[in-house]
Amino acid sequence: MPLNRSLVSGLPAFAGLSGDDVDAVLATARSSRFPKDSEVFSQDEEAAQFFLLLSGHIRVVRTTPEGDQVIARYINEGELFGIAIAMGQVTYPATAVAAVDCVVLSWPNAAWPGLQSRAPAFGANAYQTIGARLQDTQSRVVEMSTRQVEQRIAGAVMRLVQQSGRKTEEGVEIDFPITRQDIAEMTGSTLHTVSRLMSAWEDEGIVKSGRQKVTVTDPHALMLVAENRRKK
Protein backbone atom coordinates (compact mmCIF):
# COMPACT_ATOMS: atom_id res chain seq x y z
CA MET A 1 0.00 0.00 0.00
CA PRO A 2 1.69 3.23 -1.13
CA LEU A 3 1.77 6.16 1.22
CA ASN A 4 -0.45 9.04 0.38
CA ARG A 5 1.24 12.33 -0.30
CA SER A 6 -1.43 14.19 1.61
CA LEU A 7 0.07 12.73 4.79
CA VAL A 8 3.17 14.87 4.48
CA SER A 9 2.66 17.54 1.86
CA GLY A 10 2.17 20.32 4.39
CA LEU A 11 5.27 19.52 6.43
CA PRO A 12 8.35 21.77 6.42
CA ALA A 13 10.50 18.78 5.48
CA PHE A 14 8.62 18.63 2.18
CA ALA A 15 8.48 22.35 1.52
CA GLY A 16 9.47 23.27 -2.01
CA LEU A 17 8.88 19.81 -3.46
CA SER A 18 6.53 19.16 -6.34
CA GLY A 19 3.78 16.58 -5.92
CA ASP A 20 5.75 14.13 -8.01
CA ASP A 21 8.84 14.70 -5.93
CA VAL A 22 6.87 14.04 -2.78
CA ASP A 23 5.66 10.76 -4.25
CA ALA A 24 9.19 9.85 -5.22
CA VAL A 25 10.43 10.48 -1.70
CA LEU A 26 7.57 8.53 -0.19
CA ALA A 27 8.21 5.62 -2.53
CA THR A 28 11.22 4.55 -0.50
CA ALA A 29 9.60 5.15 2.88
CA ARG A 30 7.65 2.85 5.05
CA SER A 31 5.40 3.60 7.95
CA SER A 32 5.38 1.89 11.32
CA ARG A 33 3.87 2.14 14.78
CA PHE A 34 5.86 2.43 17.99
CA PRO A 35 3.96 1.89 21.20
CA LYS A 36 4.56 4.16 24.17
CA ASP A 37 7.97 3.65 25.83
CA SER A 38 9.39 1.63 22.94
CA GLU A 39 12.68 2.64 21.34
CA VAL A 40 12.77 3.80 17.74
CA PHE A 41 16.53 3.58 17.75
CA SER A 42 19.21 3.24 20.32
CA GLN A 43 22.35 5.18 21.21
CA ASP A 44 25.56 3.90 19.53
CA GLU A 45 23.57 1.53 17.38
CA GLU A 46 24.61 1.57 13.74
CA ALA A 47 22.45 4.11 11.94
CA ALA A 48 20.61 2.27 9.17
CA GLN A 49 17.57 4.49 8.71
CA PHE A 50 16.30 8.00 9.18
CA PHE A 51 12.85 8.96 10.36
CA LEU A 52 9.99 11.39 10.28
CA LEU A 53 7.44 11.54 13.08
CA LEU A 54 3.91 11.47 11.69
CA SER A 55 2.11 11.44 15.00
CA GLY A 56 2.98 11.27 18.66
CA HIS A 57 5.92 12.64 20.62
CA ILE A 58 9.43 11.31 20.87
CA ARG A 59 12.02 11.87 23.55
CA VAL A 60 15.66 11.88 22.49
CA VAL A 61 17.95 10.84 25.34
CA ARG A 62 21.70 10.70 25.76
CA THR A 63 23.15 8.42 28.39
CA THR A 64 26.65 8.87 29.77
CA PRO A 65 28.98 5.96 30.49
CA GLU A 66 28.19 6.58 34.19
CA GLY A 67 24.50 6.12 33.54
CA ASP A 68 23.36 9.73 33.79
CA GLN A 69 20.63 10.62 31.34
CA VAL A 70 20.08 13.93 29.58
CA ILE A 71 17.12 14.69 27.35
CA ALA A 72 18.53 16.19 24.17
CA ARG A 73 15.14 17.24 22.80
CA TYR A 74 11.57 16.27 22.14
CA ILE A 75 10.54 15.58 18.56
CA ASN A 76 7.16 16.92 17.53
CA GLU A 77 4.82 15.78 14.80
CA GLY A 78 6.15 16.47 11.33
CA GLU A 79 9.82 16.63 12.31
CA LEU A 80 12.70 14.61 10.96
CA PHE A 81 14.82 12.71 13.46
CA GLY A 82 17.60 10.17 13.53
CA ILE A 83 19.15 11.84 10.49
CA ALA A 84 22.65 10.65 11.29
CA ILE A 85 23.18 10.08 7.58
CA ALA A 86 22.88 13.81 6.88
CA MET A 87 25.59 14.52 9.43
CA GLY A 88 27.98 11.88 8.21
CA GLN A 89 27.56 9.89 11.43
CA VAL A 90 27.80 6.14 11.47
CA THR A 91 25.91 5.56 14.71
CA TYR A 92 22.98 7.26 16.40
CA PRO A 93 24.27 9.65 19.05
CA ALA A 94 21.24 9.17 21.29
CA THR A 95 18.26 6.95 21.98
CA ALA A 96 14.79 7.84 20.67
CA VAL A 97 11.91 6.73 22.89
CA ALA A 98 8.22 7.05 22.09
CA ALA A 99 6.70 9.30 24.78
CA VAL A 100 3.25 8.18 23.61
CA ASP A 101 2.11 5.78 20.89
CA CYS A 102 3.72 7.04 17.70
CA VAL A 103 3.55 6.63 13.95
CA VAL A 104 6.78 7.21 12.07
CA LEU A 105 7.97 7.08 8.51
CA SER A 106 11.37 5.57 7.96
CA TRP A 107 13.76 5.46 5.06
CA PRO A 108 16.78 3.22 4.64
CA ASN A 109 19.96 5.29 4.64
CA ALA A 110 20.76 3.75 1.28
CA ALA A 111 17.95 5.85 -0.16
CA TRP A 112 19.56 9.13 0.93
CA PRO A 113 21.85 9.77 -2.05
CA GLY A 114 19.02 9.03 -4.47
CA LEU A 115 16.68 11.38 -2.65
CA GLN A 116 19.35 14.06 -2.67
CA SER A 117 19.54 14.05 -6.44
CA ARG A 118 15.85 13.37 -7.11
CA ALA A 119 14.59 16.03 -4.68
CA PRO A 120 17.40 18.31 -3.53
CA ALA A 121 14.95 20.49 -1.62
CA PHE A 122 14.27 17.55 0.69
CA GLY A 123 17.95 17.35 1.53
CA ALA A 124 18.17 21.09 1.99
CA ASN A 125 15.27 20.97 4.43
CA ALA A 126 17.02 18.25 6.39
CA TYR A 127 20.17 20.37 6.58
CA GLN A 128 18.13 23.31 7.74
CA THR A 129 16.67 21.14 10.49
CA ILE A 130 20.17 20.25 11.63
CA GLY A 131 21.22 23.88 11.55
CA ALA A 132 18.22 24.89 13.63
CA ARG A 133 19.01 22.18 16.17
CA LEU A 134 22.59 23.34 16.40
CA GLN A 135 21.36 26.83 17.20
CA ASP A 136 18.90 25.47 19.77
CA THR A 137 21.60 23.46 21.42
CA GLN A 138 24.00 26.41 21.50
CA SER A 139 21.28 28.47 23.13
CA ARG A 140 20.87 25.78 25.69
CA VAL A 141 24.56 25.94 26.53
CA VAL A 142 24.28 29.69 26.94
CA GLU A 143 21.24 29.26 29.15
CA MET A 144 22.95 26.70 31.33
CA SER A 145 25.98 28.95 31.66
CA THR A 146 24.18 32.14 32.52
CA ARG A 147 20.77 31.47 34.11
CA GLN A 148 19.80 29.98 37.40
CA VAL A 149 17.87 26.78 37.72
CA GLU A 150 14.49 28.43 38.21
CA GLN A 151 14.88 30.46 35.04
CA ARG A 152 16.04 27.44 33.07
CA ILE A 153 13.14 25.31 34.21
CA ALA A 154 10.68 28.08 33.45
CA GLY A 155 12.23 28.46 30.00
CA ALA A 156 12.04 24.74 29.34
CA VAL A 157 8.39 24.57 30.34
CA MET A 158 7.63 27.61 28.17
CA ARG A 159 9.22 25.95 25.16
CA LEU A 160 7.37 22.71 25.79
CA VAL A 161 3.98 24.42 25.89
CA GLN A 162 4.80 26.51 22.85
CA GLN A 163 5.89 23.53 20.79
CA SER A 164 3.61 20.87 22.16
CA GLY A 165 0.87 22.73 23.95
CA ARG A 166 -2.81 21.82 23.86
CA LYS A 167 -5.42 24.29 24.96
CA THR A 168 -7.70 23.26 27.80
CA GLU A 169 -10.16 25.31 29.79
CA GLU A 170 -7.54 25.73 32.51
CA GLY A 171 -4.72 26.91 30.28
CA VAL A 172 -2.22 25.27 27.98
CA GLU A 173 -1.23 21.72 28.75
CA ILE A 174 1.85 19.86 27.61
CA ASP A 175 0.51 17.31 25.18
CA PHE A 176 2.31 14.22 26.46
CA PRO A 177 3.11 12.67 29.81
CA ILE A 178 6.14 14.29 31.38
CA THR A 179 7.61 13.73 34.81
CA ARG A 180 9.56 16.00 37.14
CA GLN A 181 12.49 13.74 36.41
CA ASP A 182 12.13 14.44 32.68
CA ILE A 183 12.14 18.17 33.25
CA ALA A 184 15.18 17.80 35.49
CA GLU A 185 16.98 15.92 32.70
CA MET A 186 16.18 18.72 30.27
CA THR A 187 17.54 21.44 32.53
CA GLY A 188 20.51 19.91 34.29
CA SER A 189 18.73 19.81 37.61
CA THR A 190 17.08 17.30 39.95
CA LEU A 191 13.51 16.13 40.30
CA HIS A 192 13.50 17.55 43.82
CA THR A 193 14.27 21.06 42.69
CA VAL A 194 11.77 20.84 39.85
CA SER A 195 9.11 19.62 42.23
CA ARG A 196 9.75 22.39 44.72
CA LEU A 197 9.68 25.12 42.10
CA MET A 198 6.58 23.83 40.40
CA SER A 199 4.83 23.63 43.76
CA ALA A 200 5.78 27.25 44.39
CA TRP A 201 4.50 28.25 40.96
CA GLU A 202 1.29 26.43 41.64
CA ASP A 203 0.86 28.48 44.81
CA GLU A 204 1.36 31.61 42.72
CA GLY A 205 -1.24 30.46 40.22
CA ILE A 206 1.22 30.20 37.33
CA VAL A 207 0.83 26.48 36.63
CA LYS A 208 -1.31 23.55 37.57
CA SER A 209 0.33 20.19 37.57
CA GLY A 210 -0.19 16.63 38.58
CA ARG A 211 1.13 13.23 37.85
CA GLN A 212 2.97 13.36 34.53
CA LYS A 213 0.98 16.43 33.59
CA VAL A 214 1.77 20.13 33.44
CA THR A 215 -0.65 22.93 32.57
CA VAL A 216 0.44 26.52 32.32
CA THR A 217 -2.35 28.81 33.47
CA ASP A 218 -0.45 32.10 33.30
CA PRO A 219 2.08 32.04 30.46
CA HIS A 220 2.95 35.68 30.91
CA ALA A 221 3.90 35.18 34.54
CA LEU A 222 5.95 32.14 33.59
CA MET A 223 7.78 34.22 31.02
CA LEU A 224 8.60 36.75 33.71
CA VAL A 225 10.01 33.95 35.84
CA ALA A 226 12.11 32.74 32.92
CA GLU A 227 13.49 36.25 32.49
CA ASN A 228 13.97 36.69 36.22
CA ARG A 229 11.79 39.79 36.22
CA ARG A 230 9.11 38.54 38.54
CA LYS A 231 8.38 40.65 41.55
CA LYS A 232 8.82 38.24 44.44
CB of 190 to its own copies, least distance (A): 11
Q: Should residue 148 be labelled a site residue for DNA when binding is judged by CB under 7 A?
A: yes
Q: Should residue 180 be labelled a site residue for DNA when binding is judged by CB under 7 A?
A: yes
- Kindly tell me which residue out of 78, 114, 177, 188 binds its own copies, with binding defined by CB under 8 A: 188
Q: Should residue 91 be labelled a site residue for its own copies when binding is judged by CB under 8 A?
A: no
Q: Should residue 189 be labelled a site residue for DNA when binding is judged by CB under 7 A?
A: yes
**Short-list 188, 186, 170, 167, CA closest to 178:** 186
223 binds, among its own copies, DNA, none (CB under 5 to 8 A by kind): none
CA-based R_g, the chain, Å: 19
Cβ pair 190, 76 in contact under 8 A: no
Q: For 35-92, give the secondary structure using H, E and C.
A: CCCCEEECCCCECCEEEEEEECCEEEEEECCCCCEEEEEEECCCCEECCHHHHCCCEC
Q: Should residue 181 be labelled a site residue for DNA when binding is judged by CB under 7 A?
A: yes
Contact positions toward its own copies, by CB under 8 A?
62, 64, 66, 68, 70, 72, 86-89, 93-94, 124, 127-128, 130-135, 137-138, 140-142, 144-146, 185, 188
